Amino acid sequence: MANLDSIFHCLSDTTRRAVIAQLVNGPAPVSELAASHEMALPSFLKHINVLEKSGWIETNKSGRIRTCRLRPETVRAAEGWLEQQRRHWEARLDRLDAFLANMNEAEDKE
C-alpha cells in the first residue's frame, strides 16, 4: 500500500475526490467515470493513474473495458490517521475546557 503522503495528495484534487466518491457506490468502468468530467480521456486517465499508484483504486481490464474499484485498505489507512488526529485534538480541547472551567470557578470565588 502507498504511504499517507500519496494517499492524501490524491485528495487534493477535485477530479480525484469525485472519482473516489463515485467508486464508493461500487466498481465502474473508466468510460462511465470519465463521462461526468469535462476533460479529454487522456487527461482523465492521468487522474486514474495517480489514484492507482497511490493505492486508492485498482483497475482490471477485460477486453476493451477497464474497470476501477476502491481499495478499502487505503480508505482505512486514511480513516485511521484522521481518527488519530481527531482523538488528539479532542483530548487537547477537553483539557482546555477543564482549564477554563477551573479559571471560572476561581473567579467566582473571588
Whether 108 shows a pLDDT value over 90: the answer reads: no
Domain layout of the chain by residue ranges: 4-109
Least confident of 2-6, 43-47, 65-69: 2-6
Q: Which fold has domain 4-109?
A: Arc Repressor Mutant, subunit A (1.10.10)
Residue 104's closest CA among 89, 96, 91? 96
What is the per-residue pLDDT for 2? Answer: 56
Grid coordinates of 24 = 464508493
Give this prediction's pTM.
0.76
Q: How many CA atoms lie within 13 A of 83 on its CB side?
A: 6
Look at residue 21 and give its three-state secondary structure: helix
